[in-house]
Structure formats: structure tokens, C-alpha cells
Amino acid sequence: MTSLTGRALRLTVYIGEDDTWHHKPLYSEIVHRAHAAGLAGASVFRGVEGFGASSRIHTCRLLSLSEDLPVAIVVVDTEERIRAFLPQLDELVAEGLVTLDECEVVRYAGRTPEPDETDPKGKRSL
């Protein structure tokens, strides 16, 4: 697990839920690439309503036909690691918004697995 405290950068990528990369959800590709890059963590948040550069409102209201809801992928890590990851986003994000914010990590701790929750290779079981 990556150790992370103090000053950091928060990377937020705003895209549509229906955006894809090679026939799979774009948000999933971004999360998997962030994991492969060794970043501290990534989370995907699904919005209930929003609009972007196209000015088209996307909503989940019952009578609306829009299904392409807004999605935000948030990644927090050191400035060096986040900036090293940005070229991958240039490749992936054709439409959307990418922002960087300075932040301070107060606590970053994962759950310690019980001895029977891991297999011999150290992976957690379901």
C-alpha cells in the first residue's frame, strides 16, 4: 500500500457514464490504469443530474430519456505521481473535464485483512 500524508493533488475527471474505451466503460479504464500506475486510490461517483461543455442536461429523473449521466473519477496522490499519470488521460478523455486541486491528506489507511482473507499470493478473497 502506498503511504500518503500531507500535501497532495486531487485529480477529478468529469465524463459521461456512456463514454467508452474499446467497448468498456471509460471510467473503468481510468480506474484500472490508475491502479496499474500505483496511485493511492481512485473512486467513481455517479451524478444524478448535470451538464457540461455541450450544454445538454443529463438527468436520472423518471420521465427523462437521458441515460448518459455525469460521472466523476477522483484520484488523490502526490503531485509527482498525479502529473505522471496525466498523459494517459490525454489519450483516454476526448470529451469531458479534467481538474487538479491541491489538498491535504489527513488520514490514509486501508483495512488490515484477517489472516484467512488472503490467498497465498496475498490477494484478498471475496
Q: What's the mean pLDDT in 21-38?
A: 97
Cα separation of 60 and 69, whole Å? Answer: 7
Q: What is the arithmetic mean of pLDDT over 64-83? A: 87
Is the pLDDT at 33 greater than 70? The verdict is yes
Average pLDDT of every residue of the chain: 85
Would residue 26 be called left, alpha or beta, if left means φ above 0 and alpha means ψ between -120 and 50 degrees?
A: alpha
Q: What's the whole-model pTM score?
A: 0.78
Q: At what angle do helices 26-36 and 79-92 cross, to 10 degrees?
A: 140
Residue 116 has pLDDT above 60, yes or no: yes
